[in-house]
Every structure is written in C-alpha cells, then in structure tokens.
C-alpha cells in the first residue's frame, strides 16, 4: 500500500507544464520514448495531463501527436487516469485545483487496491498474445532494416499492421491477423503477404508513413503510394480484402492444354473449379479457328480471375474417357464443362461457346445456380499422354500409293451379250 501511495503522491501526478513548475517538482516529463516504460509497465496509478502548449512539460500533445491520438485526446488540457487497465485509461472528471486532483487520485487508488486485494487486476500486459486464430508464423515481422527489401522491392502486395505492444485493440486484432495471414498465404499461393511493425521500436517507419494511432493498417502495392486499409478487423474481412487485392493485381490464370494426367489432376486439385473446353479437331477448324476459341477462353479467364479457377482445354477425341465421364459428345464441339474435383461434380455448358454464352454459364455456377451431375465413376478418369499442339494447321494423313500398271483387267468381265 505504501509503495502505491508513494507512486501516486511522489511521481505519478503528472499535472503541470514546464512554464508553471520548476525542475525540483515531482513531475515526470513523458514522451513516446519513455511512456511505455514509465507508465504502462509500472504498477503505480498515473494521472496524466495532455496539453497543447509547445515546449511545455508532461505530454506535449502538439509535439507528440501519436500519444495524444492513441488516447483520443481532443482538447487541452486533458487528464487521463492510468489505473488497473493501462490500455483503457479513464478520463479525470474532477476539479483542477491541486487538492481536487490529489483527492481524485486517492479515490482511484483505493478502488485499485481493493480490486487487487480481492484478486481482480487489470494488470499491465505488454506482450502480444496469440489465441484462437492460429500461428503467427505467417505474419512477417518487419523492421527498419528489412522493410524496403521485403515490402517495397518485392513487387508484391502487402498488408502491414503498425502496432504497439500495450495497445488493447492491437491485442484483439492479433489472432485475427495471424489467422488471416495463414489463409491468405495459402489462397494466393504466397503472393499477398501480411506483415507487422512494432511502431514503438521502429518509430522511423511509423513516422515515415504517418502513423498516428494503433493499430494502423497500410496497403502497399508495387509502384503506388501506400493506402489506408478501410475494411473490418475480423479475419474474414481481412482475407476478403487481401483476395480482392490479389485478383486485382494478378495476371489471368494460365490456359493449359491437357497433355497428361498430372496437368488435369494438379489444376483440378488446386482450384475450387476447373473449367475444361473440348475443342474441335484441328482438321475441322485449322489454326485460326482454334485460336479464336482459345481467345474466348482467355477473355473469360481474365473476367473471372477473382474466382481463381483453373482453365484447361483438349482436342476432341484426344481424351475419350474424360469426355465420357463428363457426358460430352453427341451434340458437337466445342463443348465446355466445369468440375469441382473435391465433390466430383460437374456442369455442362448448354448455351453457345461465346463470350456471352460462357459468361452466363459461369455466372450461374458462381452463384450456385445451374444443374450438376456426378463425374462418371466418381473419380477423374484415365488421361492419355499426348503431344502439345504446335500452333499450326493440321495435315491430312498421307495414304499409300498403289501401282496398278501391272494388273491385268479383263474387259469382258461383267459384260453380258445382248
């Protein structure tokens, strides 16, 4: 009790400005460098005045705007009581005389001591805890030394959290941020990253990007000025924004020819849907006709790239078992199907093989409409290994030439006399 009382009456009443008090007064001048150590890590009760006069003691809220901002200081002077819960200080509501302030401090002290004796304590926890959201291993720790190299020079998309270890909202965000980082790493194939900067340690970075409160989240994209993250703070909100950023900045998915079983399996296993076109034989369309079909597919892949689907094609007759398993055939080529390999379900394009027809087909699938069927046999069928199309027109097979010069033909065979 005596230690707590001394903490209040000795050094914890931070109430005056340099112009009003002498160096002999028991007032601690606070700034971002010592605030965490002196206030947040202490067990003492603190009353702190935030004032707006330049070059004055206590917390100069003009000079140290980050401290004023993080505690919601709107006017001057503002006095905050840092008691049991250092992350959520109370506003001092009493009078401004020395006696009124001391009385207010002692009243708060009595409540604090009573709570601690009964086993209730807000404590001062300055570590970032992880719980309920998964491992922090996929959150990249960013520092003054590695920030430019990892973020600015990478050419990839980054969501960066600037936090303070004592910040209550930062602690609430941490498990959401960790869970989102793991999901985003997997779903974007490690192309979008979530990082974190301890702004109390790397103050240069925080100042460089105008960080005024915590947590602050910034989005970094290649060749662009960073932007403020404006979304929600749940893992779902963060993941959704990261996936939007990924699709906006990603190239359209690659359109692959089914050359072997590995191409089909990897594409259909890695993506929620794989869209497969069976194009007419090269002898039926020539290179120009085939390329026109492939161009339509590539436009659709670009249009639907946010869905992160796989895109494949094969020539009619090259993969007969695949066609049979997907119910293709009997209505001509080109044909298209979309497979969900996890459920072994597929849907067939019934409309035209055009931008409009394919768009309507895929739009219906993306919102859960359209009829589906089970893949024949309940598994992906056997796939033949074939040579890749060389981009040229097809050639008719050359037949054998037969020399009939030495063959005796009887002119009278088959003739009837009249």
pLDDT tens digits along 6-35: 333 333 333 333 344 445 556 677 777 777
Give the tens place of pLDDT for each residue, 280-290: 999 999 999 99
Write down the pLDDT at residue 7.
34
pTM here is 0.50
Asked if residue 313 lies in contact with residue 277, where contact means CB atoms within 8 angstroms, the answer is yes
Write down the pLDDT at residue 178.
95
Write down the pLDDT at residue 172.
94
CA distances from 241 to 237, 270, 301, 330 (A): 6, 21, 21, 44
Tell me what the mean pLDDT of segment 240-252 comes to.
Answer: 84
Q: 368: alpha, beta or left, given left = phi > 0 and alpha = psi -120 to 50?
A: left
Give the tens place of pLDDT for each residue, 76-87: 677 877 765 656
Asked if residue 393 lies in contact with residue 286, where contact means CB atoms within 8 angstroms, the answer is yes
| CA 187/CA 238 separation, integer angstroms | 13
310-315 and 255-257 strand pairing: parallel
Give the tens place of pLDDT for each residue, 30-46: 777 777 777 766 666 66
The pLDDT of residue 202 is above 60: yes
Give the tens place of pLDDT for each residue, 108-160: 665 555 555 444 444 434 445 444 445 678 999 999 999 999 999 988 999 99
Give the tens place of pLDDT for each residue, 319-374: 999 999 998 876 689 999 999 999 999 999 999 999 999 999 999 988 888 789 99
Bridge partners, residue 82, by sequence: 46
Compute the C-alpha angle 30/33/34, nearest 5°: 50
Residue 371: CB partners within 8 Å, gap ≥ 6? 347
Give the tens place of pLDDT for each residue, 153-197: 988 999 999 999 999 999 999 999 999 999 999 888 888 999 999
Tell me what the mean pLDDT of segment 33-62 comes to.
Answer: 60
> What tokens appear for 53 in the block?
């006069």
Write down the pLDDT at residue 77.
74
Write down the pLDDT at residue 232.
93
Compute the C-alpha angle 374/376/377, nearest 5°: 110
Write down the pLDDT at residue 47.
61
Residue 299 C-beta-side C-alpha neighbours within 13 Å = 13
Asked if residue 339 lies in contact with residue 326, where contact means CB atoms within 8 angstroms, the answer is yes
Percent of the chain whose predicted confidence (pLDDT) is above 70 = 67
Write down the pLDDT at residue 55.
34
Please report which confidence band the pLDDT of residue 99 belongs to, taking 50, 70 and 90 as the band edges: low
The pLDDT of residue 5 is above 60: no
Please report which confidence band the pLDDT of residue 56 belongs to, taking 50, 70 and 90 as the band edges: very low
Asked if residue 122 lies in contact with residue 86, where contact means CB atoms within 8 angstroms, the answer is yes
């Amino acid at each position: 009790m005596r230690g707590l009382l001394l903490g209040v009456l000795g050094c914890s009443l931070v109430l005056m400005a340099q112009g009003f008090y002498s160096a002999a007064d028991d007032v601690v001048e606070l700034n971002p460098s010592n605030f965490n150590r002196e206030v947040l890590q202490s067990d003492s009760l603190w009353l702190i005045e935030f004032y707006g006069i330049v070059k004055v003691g206590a917390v100069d809220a003009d000079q140290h705007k980050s401290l004023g901002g993080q505690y919601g200081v709107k006017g001057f002077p503002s006095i905050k009581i840092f008691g049991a819960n250092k992350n959520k200080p109370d506003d001092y509501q009493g009078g401004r005389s020395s006696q009124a302030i001391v009385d207010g401090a002692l009243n708060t002290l009595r409540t604090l001591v009573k709570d601690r004796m009964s086993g209730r304590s807000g404590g001062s926890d300055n570590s970032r805890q992880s719980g309920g959201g998964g491992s922090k291993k996929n959150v990249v720790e960013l520092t003054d030394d590695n920030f430019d190299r990892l973020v600015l020079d990478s050419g990839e998309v980054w969501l960066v959290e600037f936090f303070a270890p004592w910040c209550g909202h930062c602690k609430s965000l941490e498990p959401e941020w960790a869970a989102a980082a793991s999901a985003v790493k997997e779903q974007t194939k490690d192309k979008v990253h979530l990082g974190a900067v301890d702004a109390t340690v790397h103050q240069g970075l925080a100042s460089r990007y105008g960080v005024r409160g915590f947590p602050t989240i910034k989005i970094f994209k290649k060749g662009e000025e960073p932007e403020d993250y404006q979304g929600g703070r749940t893992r779902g909100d963060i993941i959704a924004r990261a996936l939007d950023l990924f699709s906006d900045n990603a190239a359209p998915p690659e359109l692959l020819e089914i050359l072997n079983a590995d191409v089909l399996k990897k594409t259909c296993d890695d993506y929620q849907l794989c869209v497969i076109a069976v194009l007419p034989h090269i002898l039926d369309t020539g290179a120009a006709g085939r390329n026109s079909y492939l161009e339509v597919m590539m436009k659709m892949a670009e249009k639907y790239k946010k869905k992160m689907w796989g895109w494949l094609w094969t020539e009619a007759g090259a993969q007969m078992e695949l066609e049979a398993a997907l119910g293709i055939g009997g209505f001509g080529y080109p044909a298209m199907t979309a497979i969900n390999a996890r459920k072994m379900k597929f849907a067939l394009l019934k409309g035209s093989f055009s931008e409009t027809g394919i768009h309507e087909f895929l739009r219906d699938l993306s919102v859960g409409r359209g009829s589906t069927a089970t893949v024949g046999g309940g598994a992906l069928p056997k796939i033949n290994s074939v040579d890749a199309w060389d981009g040229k027109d097809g050639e008719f097979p050359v037949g054998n030439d037969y020399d009939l010069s030495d063959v005796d033909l009887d002119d009278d065979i088959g003739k009837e006399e009249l």
